[in-house]
Structure 1
Amino acid sequence: MAKRSRTKARDQQTTPGEVGPRQPCPCGSGRRYKACHGDPSGPPPVFVQRPFEGLASECDLIALRELVPAASAPLTLVGSDRTVTLATLLPGAAPAYVREDGSIVLGLQVLHSFGDPSRDLAAVLLEAIEQAEAGEVGTVGLTADPGEGPRLQDLLVDGPLDITVHDSFGYWADLIGDETGAVAAAAEQADAQMTPSSRLTGVDAAYWADVSTKEHLRWPMPHPEDALLDALARLHAAGEDTLVEGGRLVGMFRAHGLLTPVWDLASGTGADALEEPAAAFAARLAEVLDDDTPLSTQERSVRSALAGRQVTIR
């Protein structure tokens, strides 16, 4: 057995500079090499690590795409007065819907993935505009890689999004109409699996969520990963990362190139109780982010522990 194991180990060795099949792909996609650019069937589409970079609401877009069940926000197009509404999710995870009045609803949470969500969203939006101009009503899809073309950053008048978080998917009926009752039925089914959520008002892109047995605060942040990890380590070592009694920083998601720290909260905390502590934490974090002194031994240990509690979701 030992001899066979040594033989297998030798077979799996790589030469210097070579990427092993189970190692992360050097393209930055987060996939293993054998499932990405090492796949003999061909590499996946070009991967954009921070697809929403440069947009004022980058962190909110990440939250709405990955974490928040039901929310919407109006969008303003460059050189157009057409009504466009961004929605976290549409019935059937449709990419977009064109209404009879020519207005458009654009969905963030979709089934397709072609490497650059910003390019994908722009392609769907352009297709929806073309469909609206032709007087066609209904769902707009994206079934193939759209290739090169404009990105969301090219089509939108940039600025903070005016986000409404909904407590039910019943808002679909107002967005896309419901002549047959099918939308209401879909909304009722989606509501059964919905996690109540709320956006804090005093800080950017922080979202409270009730997951029944406990509550969470999930807060996408725009800072470079290494700098943010250093700052969080300093705050944790100093005992300054607890927002409310019974709450603690438990880890973080990595999505679309940014980190989302996650706090566990005691059941019954609610979103309102987080407003002042979150604002105070944001101010303290900004101070610590400017600290470029080397981490202490304790802080390095904390940083290592935090880095080990990351989950990449996109």
Structure 2
Amino acid sequence: MGKATAAGQAGTEGGIGRRQPCPCGSGKRYKACHGAAGGAANVIVTRPFEGLAAECELVALREFVPSATAKLPLRSGDREITLATVLPMAAAAMVRSDGQAFVGLQVQTRSGDISRDLARAVEWAQQAEVGTSLSVVGPEDAPEGTVPARLQDLVDPEALLDVELHGDFSWWMPDDVEPTGDVALSLERANAAIKPAQRLDAEGVHSAYWMDAGEKAHVRWVRPESEERLLAALARLSVRGELALDEDSRYAGSFRAHGLLVPVWDLDREKHAREWEQPVAEMGRRLNEVLATLDTEPLDTAEHRAREGLRGRQVTVR
């Protein structure tokens, strides 16, 4: 091996070879990703929560759940961190006057890796003073030869999230504190804009939410399968006439968010959210049965056409 090649393979100061895959999960070599000048801020990670059991729930909380909190299953640290959908004035993190720390998911970020930005917010919240907040996660690069921490480095990868939905944003404040100034105004605006939502709780169902959008109600279900595999399963159910949840619903389409597909069903608004738990559980069983057959029973001509039709009804959110 020549000296130039050996130098290219040599480990950096942080023990990462420049020709090795970048640990951030982008799929690029380290030298073209976090090892490049400004790489930590510029690289786009399309599936930022990959590898976490809570991936689907994180996507839901990031994209469409209005008001919810969940304890973050950290591997270490003296301060408990609560993950939240939205914080006052869309802050990235805050430590309330009672010492309770929160990290927000629905925030502006300055890099292409949401997992990295969330990890920075968590690290800030673990050390921040009581009564302070972090408005935006900064774009600072890591020291040369190192990779900034990502959420996958800080939390238990096997842990699910115990999500608690709220009817408003009163949880922003400790019980004995009245909001004032900009926080009071932010709280008023957030409460005025909130739409009813319910997490569907049924056997085998995770990351599915009933949402009342006003004129319509929906089920939005973040699925863990690859897009192509899930589309194939949905196409097979469509050809069989089994794609609706029941006679009072219809499959509306899907959207992509952070590398995952989120199927959406339009619903009869007259039914209570809990009435959709069993139909969603039955849909889950149908999907699992079809997914198990795809490797041995390829799509036929009608199913291929159905898949292309379903693909045409997709949009990309993130």
Q: Please, what TM-score do these two structures have when normalized by structure 2?
A: 0.80
Where does structure 1 differ by over 6 angstroms across 4 or more consecutive aligned residues?
A: none
Choose from 67, 79, 91 the match for 1:70. 67
Conserved in 2, the CA contact under 8 Å of 1:89 and 1:109? yes
In 2: Cα distance, 1:109 partner to 1:160 partner? 19
Q: CA 1:105 to 1:214, structure 2 compared with 1: closer, same or farther past 3 Å?
A: same
Choose from 301, 306, 309 the match for 2:310. 306
Instruction: Please give the residue correspondences for 1:86-125 in structure 2 after superposition, counting only pairs within 5 Å.
Output: 86-125=83-122
Conserved in 2, the CA contact under 8 Å of 1:96 and 1:124? yes
The Cα of 1:179 is off from its aligned counterpart by 5.2
The Cα of 1:246 is off from its aligned counterpart by 2.3
Q: What SS does the aligned partner of 2:51 have? A: coil
1:255 aligns with 257
In 1: Cα distance, 2:116 partner to 2:219 partner? 29
Choose from 261, 271, 274 the match for 1:272. 274
Q: Which runs of 5+ in 1 are unaligned?
A: 1-26, 29-41
1:224 aligns with 226
Conserved in 2, the CA contact under 8 Å of 1:118 and 1:151? yes
Counterpart check, 1:186 vs 2:190: no
Q: Please, what TM-score do these two structures have when normalized by structure 1?
A: 0.81
The Cα of 1:297 is off from its aligned counterpart by 1.8
Counterpart check, 1:82 vs 2:86: no
1:57 aligns with 54
Q: What SS does the aligned partner of 1:174 have? A: coil
RMSD: 2.3
Conserved in 2, the CA contact under 8 Å of 1:244 and 1:274? no
| Cα shift readout 1:156-202 (whole Å, capped 9, x = no counterpart) | 13411110111112222238954537544422211221121110011
Counterpart of 2:156, as a letter, is: V
Conserved in 2, the CA contact under 8 Å of 1:120 and 1:146? no
Counterpart of 1:205, as a letter, is: S
In 1: Cα distance, 2:215 partner to 2:306 partner? 27
Conserved in 1, the CA contact under 8 Å of 2:47 and 2:258? yes
Choose from 226, 245, 248 the match for 2:247. 245
Conserved in 1, the CA contact under 8 Å of 2:41 and 2:139? no
The Cα of 1:136 is off from its aligned counterpart by 5.0
Q: CA 1:67 to 1:112, structure 2 compared with 1: closer, same or farther past 3 Å?
A: same
In 2: Cα distance, 1:59 partner to 1:89 partner? 18
In 2: Cα distance, 1:197 partner to 1:179 partner? 25
In 1: Cα distance, 2:314 partner to 2:79 partner? 40
2:171 aligns with 171
In 1: Cα distance, 2:148 partner to 2:184 partner? 36
Q: Tell me whether 182-191 or 246-255 shows the greater mean CA deviation.
A: 182-191
In 2: Cα distance, 1:166 partner to 1:136 partner? 24
Conserved in 2, the CA contact under 8 Å of 1:105 and 1:175? no
Q: Which runs of 5+ in 2 are unaligned?
A: 1-25, 28-38, 142-146
